Amino acid sequence: MFDRLEALPPDAIIALMQQCQADDRPDKIDLGVGVYKDSAGNIPIMQAVKMAETQIVADEKTKTYVGTTGRVTYREYMLSLVLGAEHPALQAGRIASTQAAGGSGALRIGAQLAFTAAPDASVWVSTPTWANHIPLIGSAGFAMKSYPYYNRDTLGVDFEDMLTHLEDHAKAGDIIVLHGCCHNPTGADLTPAQWDRLIPFLNKRGLLPFIDLAYLGLGHGLEKDAYGVRLAMRDCPEALIAVSCSKNFGLYKERVGLLAVLCETPDQTQIAQSQLGMIQRTLISMPPDHGAKIVERILGDPELRRIWSEELTVMRERMRGLRHQLSDALDVQGGEHIARAVIDQNGMFSTLPVTQDQAITLREDHAIYMTNSGRINIAGANGDNIPTLATALLDVLS
Ligand code: PLP
Ligand code: TYF
């Protein structure tokens, strides 16, 4: 029967990562896949993670099953990290949650829950968005649609166009995918003032936010990056939040995530909770435990938490510093608007106004790897290669 299958193209970002790994030019610059790198180009294990892991390995007495929605304490700690311990939705008992296999697992479970409740809804994603949003959410069965978001001329968010488009085209009950912070692939985020307008707009139109929070702490810090999520969870009747610990704990391959579901009443929350367990069962039975246990231990231990939070600050500030260095190097005739945007944008990514042909030229002639859409991972740069990067960019853009 497998002769009936069609070959599919590989994941473009992972293919780019492999192409870069195979490039033997010593001065290559890898701005491709979204992983944090230190100034030596390593993808380190955080010290707090190593310490927690050492303790866990020494203490662990059993590998027995945990349960379909994962570790209860992990979920509690994660909810208070994301929302703040005093958040009204937590106090009102209106949040169902499940541990998930990464942010991706959370997106998939959230999509399945929403589809079970509302199969006729459409799901709207930003133009552009993280490419995996479409298969992860669409595979639940939803019709996927897109709203305008990033303006490739101004390199900022077209907020008015976004609202107008949703006003004109989205119907009550539709689901709007938003990036909590550090938008992937553009780095262009909504400001607090824009969140303040967006959430009442969604409520008025009966639209449900599904917020993807994969970079908490890597934009402006743990509190500021949660602004939109906290507001939505305070003011919306219903919402979905998919959280990833891949980047901010550097736990990529351990697959650690959380789905939080805001319901209107505690009774509905109990029902949603039971559905989450069943959905996880139908997909993978139970989430992997090891990474979630590491996060639980870090968040529950004041000393480990302090070390983690300091390491996260170093990561965030290194990326902010690189943005400033790249911006300074681009701030010459013809590069001024990119210079400004690189500073205004947040997190790992910026999408530069580079065409596909220019991205290929950068790769072939300069050994600079970015996606064909012009997305760069700023953490792949360093003080030594930024002048080369800026010169090559200005060269292909001129
Ligand atoms: N959402 C966005 C926007 C991402 O960039 C990622 C990144 O990898 C994820 C979700 C999910 O990540 P993971 O499934 O590795 O936790
Ligand atoms: O956008 C990125 O680069 C990260 C990592 O299928 C990633 O989110 C890339 C592709 C993929 C899964 C994760």
Residue 238 carries which DSSP code? Answer: S
The reply to whether the predicted model has a pTM over 0.90 is yes
Write out pLDDT tens, residues 336-390. 999 999 999 999 999 999 999 999 999 999 999 999 999 999 999 999 999 999 9
Question: What's the pLDDT score for residue 372?
Answer: 96
Is 308 an annotated catalytic residue? no
pLDDT value of position 330: 95
Q: What is the mean pLDDT of the chain?
A: 97
CB of 369 shorter than 6 A to ligand 2 = no
- Choose, from 30, 158, 212, 289, the residue flagged as catalytic: 212
Q: Are 102 and 249 within one domain?
A: yes
20 belongs to a structural domain: yes
- Note whether residue 51 is domain-resident: no
Pocket lined around ligand 1, Cβ cut-off 6 Å: 34, 102-104, 130, 184, 212, 214, 244, 246, 252, 257
Whether 130 sits among the annotated catalytic residues: the reply is yes
pLDDT 10s digits, 242-274: 999 999 999 999 999 999 999 999 999 999 999
ipTM of the complex: 0.98
Active site residue 61: no
Domain with 125 in it: what CATH number? 3.40.640.10
Is 247 in the active site? Answer: yes
Residue 381 is part of which domain span? Answer: 2-45+316-397
Q: Is residue 164 part of a domain?
A: yes
Binning pLDDT at 50, 70 and 90, where does residue 215 land?
very high
Is the CB of 370 within 6 Å of ligand 2? Answer: no
Say yes or no: 31 and 116 in one domain. no
Q: Is residue 24 part of a domain?
A: yes
Residue 333's pLDDT is 85
Pocket test for ligand 1, best of 136, 184, 376 (most atoms within 8 A of CB): 184
pLDDT at res. 334: 85
How many domains, in total, are found in the chain? Answer: 2
CATH code: domain of residue 29:
3.90.1150.10
Q: Is residue 78 part of a domain?
A: yes
CA of 301 from ligand 2 middle (Å) equals: 30
In the predicted model, is pLDDT for residue 172 greater than 90?
A: yes
Tell whether 16 and 110 lie within a shared domain: no
175 and 100 in a common domain: yes
Per-residue pLDDT of 145-160, as tens digits, reads 999 999 999 999 999 9
108 and 158: one domain? Answer: yes
In a domain, 55, yes or no: no
Instruction: Tell me: do 267 and 326 sit in the same domain.
Output: no
Q: Are residues 188 and 246 in the same domain?
A: yes
Q: Is residue 307 part of a domain?
A: no
Instruction: Note the pLDDT tens digit of each residue in 322-343.
Output: 999 999 999 998 899 999 999 9
Q: 124 pLDDT band (50/70/90 cuts)?
A: very high
